Amino acid sequence: TSILVLNGPNLGRLGSREPDVYGTGNLEDLRVALESASRSDHEIDLRQTNDEATLIGWLHEAVDNGSPVILNPAAFTHYSYALRDAAALVTKAGLILVEVHLSNPHAREEFRHTSVISAVATGVIAGFGFDSYLLALELVERRLG
Ligand code: DQA
């Protein structure tokens, strides 16, 4: 089983996009950090897309393959019911889905205070930069055994 680490819109710009909010590391740095923190033989499959349909397709793939998911839905967090329904398919299938955020959305603009994903996620880790993902990985690996 591989562990899917899925990233939504604009996260491909990580490193140069609002570094004061999101840090200076890019997605490749995140991949390296996850791989070196990994304590299992499970492959870490890190992906990013700006496209809602692609992200939904990847969640369907998780269901079909029985893969746990670490998901940063980015701005889709706040309004995508289609992504929420796809995330619900994952957790309803008994698979872990950790919603992660680099920043703490609750400390930011009002529109970021709502997540339509959280209620169908297994749990949420937000506000710790790359460590949000690393903590999520630890949880996923602990549950995979
Ligand atoms: C984010 C927070 C979202 O509000 C924002 O739209 C993002 C990134 C985060 O990781 O902090 O793109 O998900």
For the stretch 50-74, pLDDT in tens is: 999 999 999 999 999 999 999 999 9
Q: Contact at 8 Å (CB) between 20 and 78?
A: no
Q: Has residue 145 got a pLDDT over 90?
A: no
Q: Has residue 119 got a pLDDT over 90?
A: yes
Task: Return d(Cα 70, Cα 84) in angstroms, integer.
Answer: 14
Query: For 3-144, which CATH class?
Result: alpha beta
Q: Contact at 8 Å (CB) between 62 and 90?
A: yes
* Residue with CA at minimum distance from ligand 1 atom 2: 74
List 92's β-bridge partners, or say none: none
Q: Has residue 48 got a pLDDT over 80?
A: yes
Q: Has residue 4 got a pLDDT over 80?
A: yes
Average of per-residue pLDDT values in the chain: 97
121 phi and psi, to 5 degrees?
-80, 160
Q: Is 60 annotated as contributing to ligand binding?
A: no
101 lines ligand 1 (CB under 6 A): yes
* Residue with CA at minimum distance from ligand 1 atom 6: 75
Task: Return d(Cα 98, Cα 122) in angstroms, integer.
Answer: 6
CA of 70 to the centre of ligand 1 (A): 14
CA of 104 to the centre of ligand 1 (A): 8
Of all atoms in ligand 1, which is nearest to the CA of residue 9? 12
pTM: 0.97
Token pair belonging to 134 = 């690393």
Domain boundary assignment for the chain: 3-144
* Closest by CA position to 87, among listed 114, 112, 63: 63
